[in-house]
């Protein structure tokens, strides 16, 4: 799948979300405390389309990708029983740069979260922390 096709798929998913009333206000979260429910909502809005509701990599858009999305529920298993917080944070912030861990087709959410409220880097960090905590809760 070419970068252009991936861009169209991701853009289509974002526009589809917007057409269902998704706006930046839905991303507003508690300013100081992490929140599993907020992480679940962010996951549903941003990740489930590819990774699926339970993180197994079976979302509705997964079949359109050249390389299927990884099973997020097995991250701890694949890292000797310990959830790789730093790795997941790095992937969310910077994308995937190692071909063995997937393709760079996944959106880089750090800049997108920051764009929702550019005046608060802490809000983007909190969204990522909440999302990581939610993905951690999906572990087998």
Q: Measured at the alpha carbon of residue 73, what is the angle toward residues 51 and 65, in degrees to the nearest 5?
A: 25
**pTM of the complete model:** 0.69
Taking only the tens place, the pLDDT of each residue in 34-63 is 789 999 999 999 999 999 999 999 999 999
Task: Assess whether pLDDT exceeds 70 at residue 77.
Answer: yes
**Euclidean distance between CA atoms 29 and 84, whole angstroms:** 24
Residue predicted with more confidence, 125 or 60: 60
Per domain, the residue ranges of the chain are 3-137
Taking only the tens place, the pLDDT of each residue in 81-113 is 999 999 999 998 888 765 555 555 677 777 767
């Amino acid at each position: 799948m070419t970068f252009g096709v991936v861009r169209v798929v991701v853009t289509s998913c974002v526009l589809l979300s917007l057409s269902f009333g998704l706006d930046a206000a839905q991303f507003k979260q508690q300013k100081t405390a992490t929140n599993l429910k907020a992480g679940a909502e962010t996951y549903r809005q941003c990740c489930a389309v590819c990774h699926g509701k339970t993180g197994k990599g079976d979302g509705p858009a997964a079949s359109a990708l050249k390389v299927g999305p990884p099973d997020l529920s097995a991250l701890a298993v694949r890292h000797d029983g310990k959830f790789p917080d730093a790795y997941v944070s790095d992937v969310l912030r910077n994308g995937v740069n190692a071909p063995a861990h997937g393709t760079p087709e996944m959106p880089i959410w750090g800049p997108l979260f920051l764009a929702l409220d550019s005046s608060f880097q802490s809000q983007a960090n909190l969204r990522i922390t909440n999302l990581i905590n939610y993905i951690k809760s999906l572990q087998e």
